[in-house]
């Protein structure tokens, strides 16, 4: 009987210990989340951290009365209407006046220009001013996904266009001529040598400007 009572007492004591001891719980662990964009060195690897190239208008003259030009292309992936027409980086400039044209490579266009000279201007509608055309361009660039206008001057617009996947930035500049209703431009990626993205963007912008009377003017004959 004494042995049985001792066993019961030990079981009762053990039950009290179990009941009074708090349940052991696995501590909560914060699971870290990762972003490829935030990994050290990845931005440099993809080119998203590449420095901004030298930009701006060259050759305006001391008093700014000359049209000037944008930089030439010095690497693959860059496209510019200021490149020599026989280079792969050359792209034709735009005009913001529907009736305006320049001499171009094709004989048909040359004949058309000759006939226009004999019969008078092709378009007698009111001519758009440079200031109005700059507003057209600013509106279209601002509406482009991801674009940021960095600088706007009376004849110059500069915007950054980041790639949505890699974050690589394309620097795109536009320059309005003082001598004619012509807009030249230059697009260069800060990293990489593929110009497809830049060409597609320029095409999209030109199409967005088309309802306002903008168009490409073809290769200029020197």
Residue 99 above 90 pLDDT?
no
pLDDT(150) > 70: yes
Distances (CA, A) of 125 to 98, 131, 217: 9, 17, 19
- The answer to whether residues 209 and 140 touch, using CB atoms and an 8 Å cutoff, is yes
Q: Which pLDDT does position 83 carry in this prediction?
A: 94
The per-residue pLDDT for 33 is 41
Tokens (6 digits) for 99 = 């009736």
Q: Cα-Cα-Cα-Cα dihedral of 21, 24, 30, 31, to 10°? A: -170
What element of type H or E holds 79? strand 79-80
User: For the segment 160-188, what is each residue's pLDDT rounded down to a tens digit?
Assistant: 999 988 899 999 999 999 989 999 999 99
Q: Which one of 95-104, 116-125, 182-191 scores highest in mean pLDDT? A: 182-191
Across residues 47-74, what is the average pLDDT?
Answer: 80
């Amino acid at each position: 009987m004494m042995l049985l009572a001792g066993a019961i007492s030990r079981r009762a004591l053990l039950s009290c210990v179990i009941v009074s001891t708090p349940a052991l719980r696995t501590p909560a662990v914060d699971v870290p989340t990762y972003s490829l964009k935030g990994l050290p060195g990845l931005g440099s690897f993809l080119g998203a951290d590449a420095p901004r190239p030298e930009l701006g208008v060259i050759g305006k003259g001391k008093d700014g009365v000359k049209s000037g030009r944008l930089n030439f292309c010095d690497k693959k992936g860059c496209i510019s209407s200021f490149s020599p027409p026989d280079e792969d980086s050359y792209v034709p400039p735009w005009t913001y006046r529907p009736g305006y044209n320049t001499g171009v490579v094709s004989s048909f266009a040359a004949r058309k220009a000759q006939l226009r000279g004999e019969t008078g201007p092709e378009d007698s509608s009111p001519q758009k001013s440079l200031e109005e055309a700059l507003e057209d361009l600013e509106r279209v660039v601002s509406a482009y996904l991801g674009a940021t206008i960095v600088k706007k001057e009376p004849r110059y617009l500069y915007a950054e266009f980041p790639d949505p996947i890699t974050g690589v930035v394309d620097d795109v500049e536009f320059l309005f001529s003082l001598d004619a209703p012509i807009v030249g431009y230059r697009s260069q990626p800060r990293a990489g040598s593929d110009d497809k993205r830049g060409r597609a963007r320029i095409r999209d912008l030109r199409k967005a400007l088309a309802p306002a009377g903008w168009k490409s003017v073809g290769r200029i004959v020197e």
